[in-house]
Structure 1
Amino acid sequence: MTPSERAGREIWYKATAGNDRFHTYVFQQRMGVLIDWWRVLRGDKRDERFKIWGLVNNPGCCTPGSEGCPARSYEETFGFDWCHGDDELLRHVGRQGYRDPACDFADAPMPSGHPHAADGLREDSCHLAFGTSTGAMGLRKFPNPRFDADAWRKVNGGKLGTWEGFARRMADQRELSDYQARKLADASVEPPYLIGMACGACHIAFDPANPPADPANPEWNNLVGAIGNQYARMSEIMVSGMSEDSLQWQVFSHTRPGVVDTSAVPTDQVNNPGTMNALINVLQRPRFENELVDRWRPVASCPAGADPRSCWCESGKPGKCWNKSTERETVFHILKGGEDSVGDLLAVQRVYINIGSCSEQCWLNHLTDLYQVDPEQRNFGQTPFDIGQCRRDCPNFRAIEDRAHDVINFLLSKKAYSTPLWKAKGLASLDDWIVDLDRRHGDGTVDRGRVLFAENCARCHSSQQGAVETRDFHRESDVAGVRTDWLGNDQATPASEVGTFGCRALHSNHMKGHVWEEFASETYRAREPDSNLSDQTGGGRGYYRNVSLVDLWAHAPFMHNNAIGPELCGKPSNPDDEFYRSPYVDADGKKLADPPDCFAYDPSVEGRYKLFLASVEQLLNPQQRIPKTTLIDQPIRRAIGPKLWDGEREKLVGIEIEVPAGTPAGLYGSFRHKELLRDMVLSVLDNERLQERMVDRVGPSAANNMANEVSALTKVVLKSPDQVIGIARDRLPLLSELYSTCTSTIENAGHRFGEDLSPGDKQALTAFLSTL
């Protein structure tokens, strides 16, 4: 690896850019969501960590008390694994003065000709904030200087090596007001560690071609850094401190392994989970010319008297300036719908912000507060994140920005090249695998599959130019080990044409006026709406990009939500640690009584191949798919005011509403409750304004009827507020039409291409797909 690639890898694996404060304090205080890091990372469950959470254990960490481990007991490590660098870190728990390992980061030379290449212009590397490993790859810990050992012992039964008391419920009886609260929310008790997250937390995974014999005990050569962890349960991790009958747990924990809704915190109120991108053969990924991009660009100086909102120079760093302008550029289309289309460097930057870096300095004030229902107040809705302001005010932003090119160089390096199945099987060449496939399925099977792929798939899943019939989908490029064809063209396809679960295509955070406005090109936002979708599009929404099929054999199940194919589950030794809930439903949307079993996590070569074959079968035979809709699996109880106490047992007296089990979880993630409340208020105070809003939403012909329906709903609710859920259920079609951002319900629908092929042709196409 080059010095830049090595530097980029270290940042990818370790840098949190200060987001430990977000994951320890800000998330729970601002979002009202608790993370129970002890539950996720406790050292005594290291051997079960992969099965429960899908996390990859750090090979360089050890269990306290085990042979050769520097720590003798969990009392020394506060219940966590012991990891490299902890000899220094543990000395600073409860003390100031910790020197972060990032301070000794070895910077690579800046790119030749870069305007900021002069010595001394980069931000201090300390602000990369590495900390040490928690025991799980990509999750990093930092010593909490505010930790009080005596207070910790008092909460945890006199022990330092457990968090049991800190994680407990404040009351055991459901009727008590503190039943929903946990000690985790008690700001008077500080944990020993602050936990941060690097990019690697979602992307470091087992090498498909060299998986570990025991997934709980991998070696370094079993890991690769960029392909995406298809087993990780990041959504469950983020709500791990919440009760399972809470709204947050039931709504946010329903995503599949390897899938996360990255707009759950910067919420656009669209339930749109997506897979962690598999970054493979990025060197060959298509780029798009002449995109209209308005962004900041590095320059050596600004004109005298320049407006700092369009040209700004960093104080104390002569020659380090930035100019904002609109120009034509060649860029990647990075996210599922082609968002993050203003350059790969800024795409790296946005990910760090999205996982909590600089949250207090420049992110939180742009986010929607779900509890703020007054449209005149701050945080009622989103406002655009300001890159210039964040660069000025947050040193963590500058630390990443000054080294983002190193991260990109790592993602373009050999460490992110393909791992084809024939190599994973230990064969000498692709030809040997083709011979084996033809022996199993008949002579010429793979060649027939190539023809079928060219005829049915290549218009979306090939990056080469020219007639598809003559393309060699396996030809290597001039760069050794990288094939010419990226096996996807990254072009935008209308979501209605693909037909898959549509919510991700409705993601709205990159629209004008929304939080990620500065991370999407004007070309992206100028795309025509998909008029064939029933849900509202426009502003760039309504599309999916045609993704790569490189190493398809290793990345089943399929689609942007991992929904086409068998369901995955960890099957840990304790059933109470299993998060899987069957999403299979009948024709009426009710939970299927006897659903198919889930596939246990199996990262072995044969395990991946078995999952691939089962997933391709469902892909090519959509009529055989059992519908999937994730349902709330237990009632959600929420207390609404006024809150009155009985003065003795702190029993809650007032109104409690219940969301029944069996309700689609996505319904709540995509429901615009603020708009409903606003219209209900207008129905009482300003019916004329309500009529205007309905014209904008449903057109003049239906506006009056819809306004009358909202008025009728308001009257019923005011009369019987304790029946609001039942009232809403009776009017679900109306509420969905007016206030749902996405009405898709079947998660494994669509992508019916190839369904009319004969059984023999489907077998041939499957065989060919296994060679990609």
Structure 2
Amino acid sequence: MKTRRKDRTEIKFDSLEFSCHTVHERRINDDSVKALLPARRDLLRLARVGSYVLGCTMLVFTGCGKKEPIDEAKAAGKTTADFPQITADIFKPMDGGIDLKPEEIMGRNTWNLWSGGNQHFWNQTAQDSFGLMDLLKMLDNRKFPRGERFKTLGLVNEPGFRTAGKPDEFGLWLDEQVQPEPEGIDQTVYGKPSGVLGFRLFPNPEFNDEARKKWDGDRFMNDPTYYNDNRLVRPYRVGVACGSCHISPNPSNPPEDPENPRWENLASAIGNQYINEGKVFACNVQKGGFFYEMLAAQPRGTSDTSRIATDHINNPNAINAIFLLAERERIAATEKVADGT
């Protein structure tokens, strides 16, 4: 502790620690400060005191490095070579069985499977929203049964799965796989299937022995004091591929039962006209609040991709179909707005 006394001003700095977290204590004698206020020269002294404190504060915060998110792939020493594209035409029955070029095959595989690492983002969103947005819970049959998923959420069930008949090792009632996925899908890269097209499951690296001891599948579903805890570590992270919002029933060959389609009943690039985006991505929102009303006003088959940008515009639009890209580029023209950009 350092004490400096000058005239009637006493300043104490107790354990001033320059760190990114805490300046433990800075005490200015209030009575002495009040006594200084009537006098100009003492005000100047007080100004110098303030400058000193401000300087200390600047040192504290300018010494803090910006906290960058961890790139887990880089941290593990991985490169692009560790994420090879799938060249096999594993979704051949989709889109009317159309013949595709090798590049188009790899593009469709990526479209339907690749989450690009966003499972980290969606896991953090579940924690930071205190369970308000929770894709893992959305996939659980106790929240939305597989037999009513298309009706309620507009999502497309993956062929080769059935409704969960029992909980898994973590007490979750996720769809049960009864047929293997097409060969050639590396689950370390693309995750494992969830039973809902476009949503992939990845083991959560933060789910260690301590997290496992604290995990309770029943409380995760039913106890708000448990699932609203932003320190809760979930056993899976959920990755979201582009196909989650774009895979839909093929209008040229729709399924007899939309809750149980076959691969040949599905199209990968039309844009899902049935998705209920609000319930999918914010399954715990309760009726009565502003957020609920905003989501409820959104028509089926639309997406508001600017919502997170806080532009304060409620502007959901139809999900674009992805086709004739070369033709679109051919007729496109450069556009300039008023400011010249």
| Secondary structure at the counterpart of residue 74 of structure 1 | coil
Q: Tell me whether 1:81 sits opposite 2:181 in the alignment.
A: no
Q: Tell me whether 1:40 sits opposite 2:100 in the alignment.
A: no
Q: Assess, with a 3 A threshold, how the Cα gap between structure 1 residues 165 and 153 changes in structure 2: closer, same or farther.
A: farther
- Deviation (angstroms), 1:155: 5.8
For the Cα contact (< 8 Å) 1:21–1:194, is it kept in 2? yes
Give the whole-Å Cα distance in 2 for the aligned partners of 1:253 and 1:225: 26
Deviation per CA, 1:711-737, whole angstroms, max 9, x where unpaired?
A: xxxxxxxxxxxxxxxxxxxxxxxxxxx
Q: Tell me whether 1:278 sits opposite 2:332 in the alignment.
A: no
Which of 220, 227, 233 is the equivalent residue of 1:166? Answer: 220
Q: TM-score, normalised by structure 1?
A: 0.28
For the Cα contact (< 8 Å) 2:156–2:197, is it kept in 1? yes
Which residue pairs with 1:684 in the alignment?
none
Give the whole-Å Cα distance in 1 for the aligned partners of 2:205 and 2:178: 20
Q: Assess, with a 3 A threshold, how the Cα gap between structure 1 residues 168 and 228 changes in structure 2: closer, same or farther.
A: same
Q: Assess, with a 3 A threshold, how the Cα gap between structure 1 residues 32 and 39 changes in structure 2: closer, same or farther.
A: closer
- Deviation (angstroms), 1:237: 1.8
Which residue pairs with 1:145 in the alignment?
205
Which residue pairs with 1:24 in the alignment?
123
Q: Assess, with a 3 A threshold, how the Cα gap between structure 1 residues 276 and 285 changes in structure 2: closer, same or farther.
A: same
Deviation per CA, 1:356-391, whole angstroms, max 9, x where unpaired?
A: xxxxxxxxxxxxxxxxxxxxxxxxxxxxxxxxxxxx
Matches within 5 A, 1:293-692: 523-526=335-338
- Deviation (angstroms), 1:34: 2.1
Give the whole-Å Cα distance in 2 for the aligned partners of 1:166 and 1:14: 27
Which residue pairs with 1:101 in the alignment?
186
Give the whole-Å Cα distance in 2 for the aligned partners of 1:164 and 1:250: 29
Alignment RMSD, CA only?
3.2
Structure 1 segments unaligned to the other structure (5+ residues): 66-72, 88-99, 104-128, 157-162, 171-181, 292-522, 527-537, 541-772
Deviation per CA, 1:71-110, whole angstroms, max 9, x where unpaired?
A: xx323473211349999xxxxxxxxxxxx9266xxxxxxx
- Deviation (angstroms), 1:204: 0.4
For the Cα contact (< 8 Å) 2:294–2:314, is it kept in 1? no
Q: Which amino acid aligns with 1:241?
A: N
Which residue pairs with 1:587 in the alignment?
none
For the Cα contact (< 8 Å) 2:131–2:227, is it kept in 1? no
For the Cα contact (< 8 Å) 2:198–2:240, is it kept in 1? yes
| Secondary structure at the counterpart of residue 190 of structure 2 | coil
- Deviation (angstroms), 1:43: 3.4
For the Cα contact (< 8 Å) 1:41–1:80, is it kept in 2? yes
| Secondary structure at the counterpart of residue 307 of structure 2 | coil
Q: Assess, with a 3 A threshold, how the Cα gap between structure 1 residues 42 and 286 changes in structure 2: closer, same or farther.
A: same
For the Cα contact (< 8 Å) 1:134–1:141, is it kept in 2? yes
Q: Assess, with a 3 A threshold, how the Cα gap between structure 1 residues 282 and 263 changes in structure 2: closer, same or farther.
A: same
- Deviation (angstroms), 1:52: 0.9
Q: Assess, with a 3 A threshold, how the Cα gap between structure 1 residues 150 and 8 changes in structure 2: closer, same or farther.
A: same
Deviation per CA, 1:207-257, whole angstroms, max 9, x where unpaired?
A: 001011111110000111000111101222222123223332222342111
- Deviation (angstroms), 1:262: 0.6
Give the whole-Å Cα distance in 2 for the aligned partners of 1:193 and 1:102: 13
Give the whole-Å Cα distance in 2 for the aligned partners of 1:196 and 1:226: 19
| Secondary structure at the counterpart of residue 201 of structure 2 | strand
Give the whole-Å Cα distance in 2 for the aligned partners of 1:25 and 1:263: 19
The total of aligned residue pairs comes to 236
Give the whole-Å Cα distance in 2 for the aligned partners of 1:290 and 1:229: 28
Give the whole-Å Cα distance in 1 for the aligned partners of 2:329 and 2:206: 49
Task: Report percent identity of matched pairs.
Answer: 34
- Which protein is bigger by CA-based radius of gyration? 2
- Deviation (angstroms), 1:199: 0.4
Q: Assess, with a 3 A threshold, how the Cα gap between structure 1 residues 58 and 265 changes in structure 2: closer, same or farther.
A: same
Q: Which amino acid aligns with 2:219?
A: G
Q: Assess, with a 3 A threshold, how the Cα gap between structure 1 residues 32 and 144 changes in structure 2: closer, same or farther.
A: closer
Deviation per CA, 1:384-442, whole angstroms, max 9, x where unpaired?
A: xxxxxxxxxxxxxxxxxxxxxxxxxxxxxxxxxxxxxxxxxxxxxxxxxxxxxxxxxxx
